[in-house]
Amino acid sequence: MPKFFSQEWIGEYVKAINESEDYEKAAKGWEGDFLFVVEPDEEGEPLYAYIDLYHGKARKGFVVKDPSQINAAFEFRGKLSNWKKLLKGEIDPIKGLITGKFKLKGSMAMVMRYAKAAKVLVDLTKKVETEW
Domain ranges of the chain: 7-124
Secondary structure class of 122 (helix, strand, coil): helix
Phi, psi of 107 (to 5 degrees): -75, 105
Give, for all 132 residues of the chain, the pLDDT tens digit: 999 999 999 999 999 999 999 999 999 999 999 999 999 999 999 999 999 999 999 999 999 999 999 999 999 999 999 999 998 889 988 889 899 999 999 998 998 899 899 889 988 988 898 898
Secondary structure class of 63 (helix, strand, coil): strand
DSSP state of 73: S
Position 94 scores a pLDDT of 85
Position 119 scores a pLDDT of 87
DSSP state of 2: P
Separation of alpha carbons 49 and 64, rounded Å: 5
pTM for this predicted structure:
0.91
Position 75 scores a pLDDT of 94
DSSP state of 131: B
Position 79 scores a pLDDT of 97
Chain length of the chain: 132
Helices then strands, each counted (H, E), the chain: 6, 5
When the candidates are 3.40.640.10, 3.30.1050.10, 3.40.50.720, 3.40.630.10, the CATH number that belongs to 7-124 is 3.30.1050.10
Phi, psi of 125 (to 5 degrees): -65, -25
Separation of alpha carbons 54 and 113, rounded Å: 15
- Cβ atoms 76, 34 nearer than 8 A: yes
